[in-house]
Amino acid sequence: MISQRKNPVVGLVQSSTTSDRQENVDKAVRGIRDAARRGATLVVLQELFASPYFCQVEDAALFDLAEPIPGPTTNAIAAVAREAKVTVVTSVFERRAAGLFHNTAVVLGPNGEELSRYRKMHIPDDPQYYEKFYFTPGDLGFVACPTPSAVVGTLVCWDQWYPEAARLTALRGAELLTYPTAIGWLPRDKAEHGAAQLSAWQTMQRSHAIANGVFVVAVNRVGVETTGDSEIEFWGRSFVCDPAGVVIAEAGAGEEVLVVECDLSKIEAARRGWPFLRDRRIDVFGDLARRWIDPKAG
């Protein structure tokens, strides 16, 4: 017999943001309540939802957006988690100490308690994604958090391109990989590369689901955001895929709250049919810890 647990019902809150922090937090709170009313037991918010995506520019004054944990944002989300009796994966620009900041995902339980904390491990430094200026790479390792709904793996945005991150989180027992995300098109790229970029983003995460036999929950933001002379059009398209990589729910390009049940019995079924974990040659994977393998050096 496969799992007899009650399946988690996952809510994804996809929204636009403004420069008003309170307005953004209030919108997230409304989204959590909406998802809970529709049966969600686990709600996932988008990356850095309390502010516009400030990493488009390097500006030391923007460190003022950071806050401690617990702090105003986590307190507000903890309160609605407790009110709605749901578990919430929330994203925070964490001020750990003076001059030390992280891009952090916190899992808050249905009593408002902190269940786990994950600090984003992979930090990009690309045009208009200048995250290395703001965030110190995570030092808490990969996290799989038991919750009343499921064992939840918390990863963040750029982490979603790394199969090692998905694998290590799944190996810790995660049944759902959650990816709070902020990704979109630069105006100069959309016409030529836009469709391929979106397809690559979706395909990469679906591959994590297949390779690990888990559900993947990706929650992106929407809208055009301008910082200084820089602009990004966030493409939304938040989605959930099952352990076979089948997309079982997908949002469009506007504000939306998705609610979808995840049948955990599919994990066992997928892993029995495709026993990738059984057949892994862990005895020959040592080189994965190397940056590059010089073919001349061996």
* Annotation says 55 is catalytic: no
* Annotation says 132 is catalytic: no
The partner residues of 42 in beta bridges, in order of sequence, read: 10, 87
Rg (CA), the chain: 19
Q: Are strands 151-154 and 184-185 parallel, antiparallel or unpaired?
A: unpaired
What is d(CA 178, CA 101) in angstroms, rounded to the nearest whole number? 21
Catalytic annotation, pick one of 27, 55, 120, 145: 120
Which 3 state secondary structure label does DSSP give 256? strand
E-only strand ranges, the chain: 9-14, 42-45, 87-97, 100-108, 114-119, 125-126, 129-130, 144-146, 151-154, 176-180, 184-185, 215-219, 222-227, 230-235, 239-241, 247-250, 256-261
25 contacts 13 by C-beta, under 8 angstroms:
no
Q: For residue 200, what are the CA distances in angstroms to 183, 194, 270?
A: 12, 10, 23
Catalytic annotation, pick one of 67, 94, 145, 157: 157
**Alpha carbons within 13 A on the beta-carbon side of 86:** 29
What is d(CA 49, CA 28) in angstroms, rounded to the nearest whole number? 8
Residue 240 is encoded by which pair of tokens? 């959930």
Quote the crossing angle between the two packed helices 72-84 and 21-37, to the nearest 10°: 20
Q: Amino acid identity of 58?
A: E
Catalytic annotation, pick one of 27, 47, 67, 175: 47
Residue 144 is encoded by which pair of tokens? 């799989």
179 contacts 241 by C-beta, under 8 angstroms:
no
Residues noted as catalytic: 47, 120, 157
